[in-house]
A and B are shown apart, each in its own frame.
Chain A
Amino acid sequence: MRDSIFRYKLLVVAVVLVILGLHFASSALDKGDETGWLGRTVISVYTPVHNVVTWPFIKVAALANRYVYLIDQSNEVEILREQNRSLMVQMHQYSELEAENKRLRDLLKFRPNRKVEPLYAKVIARSLSPEVRTILIDKGRSDGIERNMVVLTNAGLIGHVSTVTSNAAKVLLISDANSAVDAVVQRSRASGILKGRSRRTCKLEFINRSDDVEVGDIVVSSGIGGLFPGGYVLGRVVKVESTPTDMFQNVEVLPTVAFDKLEEVALVPGMEEASDAAFDGKAG
């Protein structure tokens, strides 16, 4: 009798917790805040402990990586020397272009963008499910991280900060289904919207049938849309399909950044923050 009452109680509590879980999900989706106060609390409590516990593991992994890196380095030195020679030539050409650019800006009385010193953070957790593409970084509000900051690596644009706690922040990757970046094809300047699909590739939407897009083209951010600055590499076109009945081409883009191998990222203010700061006279 006592056992059956307990089992009944257990089932009731299980049902209540399921309903509570679905309620959390519904309210988070309604408010468009996919982390919620509960999630932010968990992240705030978890991050310091995670940093302390994982420190030795990360150091050992870094040492091992460093050793492998040193073995490969001798071959790379020759390649890099060759690249260096060709880059020196290119640098002189770019210096000429920069000088020309400055002259043209002066001519147009165009105020150049302020110099922004990037912040750097380490990736401490990744999205655990295929339908969500996010990462958690070890810097938060206390380190100067703000919502909507743009997140980059040397390979290209990664995404933007969607949630900030005092000591950690969550980054919504450009490959997430909720992400959209105004983009242009670097070669032909065909413009569209790069939409994440929570898959390996993203989709470049609204590319007209007449637009010139080819496999291998580089796609960069256009700077339109108020958040992402222009000129950052987003990915490479891997598939172009066009049918006579469709108004737009079906273009798939493979992001240049390997999201599953991210370790460190750089953060810069989004265009909204940058322009606000300049307007308030805070810009350098």
Chain B
Amino acid sequence: MQGPLYFGLAFTMLILENLWRAQWPIHGLAPQFTLLLVAFMGLTEHGLAGLFYAFGLGIAMDALAGTVPGFTAVAYIITYVFMIAASKLFWVKSIPFQILTAAVMTSLAVTSRLAILWFYRLERGLGPEILRDIPWQILLNLVAVLILFPILIRLDEATDPGREGELFSSVRW
């Protein structure tokens, strides 16, 4: 996919996530569309540009969510790098892998956040509160992954047809 298309997608995900959380929160949560996009970029792009997108999206989420600037950005960069590594082993079109992706990246993002909170000693006793939300967040992200990833894969194939073989041929699982 081309950079401007990713920029448009990033802004769309940002609005969708914020709109969902403001209008239709489920247990106070919403699918993490921006995190899904970062994961998809990690799985398919592997490039430096994706890193900057992950960082920028994280900073934007921090600003809009009221979290300390940098917290989400760091979590997204860790997710992006992890997804590059995962793409060497798994096939992005595999549904079991997409389910695994939703679970792992949600847990990874939450763990990174917990690690940062612990590092900065911001508020004691928040760990159980954050951990309690993980199953719901995984479930929401799982549904979002199963809907969003096929759309993103089709978009990727449609906008850059030559890349399909290059990206998806090294099937390991």
Contacts and interface: CB of A to CB of B under 8 A. Distances in A.
Contacts of B25: 126, 260
8 contacts: A13-B51, A14-B77, A21-B77, A128-B66, A131-B122, A131-B130, A134-B65, A197-B125
Nearest to A39: B63
Interface string B69-101: 111111001101100100000000000000000
B48 A13 contact: yes
Nearest to A173: B66
A127 B67 contact: yes
A221 interface: no
Contacts of A223: none
Contacts, number: 157
For chain B, give the interface size range: 35 or more
Which interface residue of B17, B54, B69 has the most chain A CB atoms within 10 A? Answer: B69
Contacts of A199: 129
B23 A128 contact: no
A28 B72 CA distance: 14
Which interface residue of A28, A39, A198, A199 has the most chain B CB atoms within 10 A? Answer: A39
Interface of B: 11, 14-15, 17-19, 21-23, 25, 28, 30, 46-48, 51-52, 54-55, 58-74, 77-78, 80-81, 84, 113, 116-117, 120, 122-123, 125-126, 129-130, 133
Interface stretch (A53-61, A145-153, A209-217): A53-61
Given A17-B55, A198-B129, A128 B22 contact: no
Given A13-B51, A14-B51, A25-B71, A54 B66 contact: no
A28 B125 CA distance: 22
A49 interface: yes
B130 A130 contact: yes
A46 B60 CA distance: 9
Contacts of A172: 66
Given A18-B78, A126-B21, A130-B133, A35 B69 contact: yes
Contacts of B52: 17
Given A21-B58, A25-B69, A57 B51 contact: no
B19 A198 contact: no
A260 B17 CA distance: 15
A28 B70 contact: yes
Interface string A111-137: 000000000000111111111111110
